[in-house]
Amino acid sequence: MRVPLAVTNVLEDPKPTTVGGLVEQHNPDLWQRRHLAVLDALVDAARDRGLLLLLDVHRLRAGTRSQQLWYDSAVPETSLVKAWRVLARRYCDAAWNVVAADLFNEPNAASWGGGASSLDWAAAAERVGTEVHAACPRWLLMVEGVGDVAVDGTPAVPHNRSAPGTNLPHNWAENLEGVAHRPLRGLPQHRLVYSPHVYGPSVAPQDYFEGGDFPANLPAIWDGMFGFVRGSAPVVVGEWGGRLTGTDATWQRAFASYLTSRRIGSFYWALNPTSGDTGGLLLDDWRTPHAEKLSLLRGLPGSEAGARHVYRNKT
């Protein structure tokens, strides 16, 4: 499970006004607990079920959607690092089932390996990842891609690749083309995982979803955008999903086949039904599974065997 968090919630540890939308009805024991206590409860419940967790710093501030970089004027990079240190102190030794850190979610207006140093996500990921690794050496370090254009208007990736995905528009965090020229060498390679986000027509429409060769055109595009990286480093897709209807259903089935053929792991977005543009793996009652989505996901590469192994040895 990938668990989204906000820097300010980790550092300030407030009492949430809502947890997942239905906390009062379905989890009254969590009501009015502080943020980190709710996270503790989730970690413990996942542990008891043999589930592994990826912690994801998803926002600078809870409730905001306008972030473009891994910092802003109110929440600097030092605060991001501080939040990771809080999480590492809390879970590195005490929670074996927390296994990975997604350093920051969708720095969509950053660059990769070029332009202003203040916009270079590749360099920042090395800085932040080094701090996270020092705080918890056993965690995997998940690094997402960038978008198309940096906040200063320059191309996010300064060097184009002569590959099918090159020069096509990317969704947020989908663009790992810069790794071809600027791989992350400043992080421990045995812990580094590249983690693009990939979405289809119902979430992020693109012209190449409308072509006459759709969906046969997609594997070559995905290879050019991020799939090529798996020749030199692990790739795990951090988000994909959607409503699973119409053209989007065609796209999702094509992407599931791609993940299987390339042996790429993934996290499907989202579990909760309140994700407005994708829906959830649960229906609106928060209890009934979305049978068609689960059927789609059933054949994908997963970590169930690994989770059972760790769970058995730790108990």
Flag whether pLDDT at 315 surpasses 50: no
Residue length of the chain: 315
List, for residues 38-90, the tens digit of each pLDDT value.
999 999 999 999 999 999 999 999 888 878 999 999 999 999 999 999 999 99
83 is a domain residue:
yes
280 is a domain residue:
yes
Which pLDDT band, with edges at 50, 70 and 90, does 303 fall under? Answer: low
31 is a domain residue:
no
Find where tokens 């008891």 sit: 48
Distance CA 235, CA 24 (A): 38
Q: Which two tokens stand for residue 78?
A: 């030092």
- CA nearest to 60, candidates 76, 40, 39, 84: 76
Distance CA 204, CA 258 (A): 19
Residues 6+ apart with CB under 8 A from 157: 111, 112, 113, 114, 146, 175, 177, 178, 181
206 is a domain residue:
yes
Which residues are the active-site residues? Answer: 106, 239
**103, 132 contact by CB (below 8 A):** yes
Q: Is 42 helix (H, G, I), strand (E, B) or coil?
A: helix
Q: Which two tokens stand for residue 263?
A: 């042996």
**255, 242 contact by CB (below 8 A):** no
Which DSSP helix (H) or strand (E) runs through 225?
helix 218-225
Flag whether pLDDT at 23 surpasses 90: no
pLDDT of res. 311: 44
What CATH number corresponds to the domain at position 86?
Answer: 3.20.20.80
**Which residues span the domain enclosing 225?**
70-95+107-314
Which pLDDT band, with edges at 50, 70 and 90, does 165 fall under? Answer: confident
Which pLDDT band, with edges at 50, 70 and 90, does 305 fall under? Answer: very low
pTM: 0.94
- CA nearest to 310, candidates 6, 53, 18: 53
Distance CA 259, CA 136 (A): 29
Find where tokens 């009934």 sit: 288
The mean of the pLDDT values for the chain is 91
pLDDT of res. 63: 83
279 is a domain residue:
yes
239 is a domain residue:
yes
Strand order in the sheet with 53-59: 2-6, 53-59, 98-102, 140-143, 192-194
In sign, the C-alpha dihedral spanning 89, 94, 99, 104 is negative
List, for residues 232-278, the tens digit of each pLDDT value.
999 999 999 999 999 999 999 999 999 999 999 999 999 999 899 99
Q: Which two tokens stand for residue 48?
A: 């008891």
pLDDT of res. 314: 44
Distance CA 109, CA 238 (A): 18
DSSP output for 7-22? HHHHHH----S-STT-
Number of domains in the chain: 1
pLDDT of res. 285: 87
6 is a domain residue:
no
2 is a domain residue:
no
Flag whether pLDDT at 215 surpasses 60: yes
- Residue 105 gets which letter from DSSP? S
∠ CA(222), CA(226), CA(232), 5° rounding?
130
- Residue 223 gets which letter from DSSP? H
